[in-house]
Amino acid sequence: MSKQPKPDLPQFDLARFTPYRLAVAAQQTSEELARQYRDRFGISIPEWRVLVHLTQAQDVSIRDIEIRVAMEKSKVSRAATRLEAQGLIAKRAHETDRRLIRLTLTDKGRALMADLLPLAMEYQARIEDQLGPAFKALEDGLSALLAEKD
């Protein structure tokens, strides 16, 4: 059995590969904020994503959130079940399609988000300060990348 020569690999700098860097930056910033709301409010990243989405759009389905927050349906569903058990959201069947579950914030959930959203806004302000003038370019670039997906 003869060994075939290994193909030469092209030069590739992972540290400068934009998809990799975006993923790492997103994970790091998400985890830093998550530590704060996990410590103060006892909620996870998936729970945060469901709650914050419900502050933006009232009465939405699990499927809507799955699409909007780029999270697997099972994670959204489990997060919603935990949030319902804590009295932070309410679930109900869709009027015409019983397979769809509609979610809304409860008064307790709105109160939690009234305390939590200022923490998120403070974190956003720190990122903006850290990036300085580069922040606008980053926002423009992210908007361009995300618009490509619509």
User: Per residue in 94-119, pLDDT tens?
Assistant: 777 777 788 999 999 999 999 999 99
Pair 73, 63: CB distance under 8 Å: yes
- Give the model's pLDDT for residue 64: 86
- Give the model's pLDDT for residue 85: 97
What does the pLDDT look like over 15-30, one tens digit per residue? 999 999 999 999 999 9
Which residues of the chain fall short of a pLDDT of 50?
Answer: none
- Give the model's pLDDT for residue 92: 86
Pair 74, 62: CB distance under 8 Å: no
Gap between the Cα atoms of 111 and 72, Å rounded: 27
Structural domains present in the chain: 32-147 (1.10.10.10)
Give this prediction's pTM: 0.82
Question: 90: helix, coil or strand?
Answer: strand
Look-up of token digits 């509609």: 102
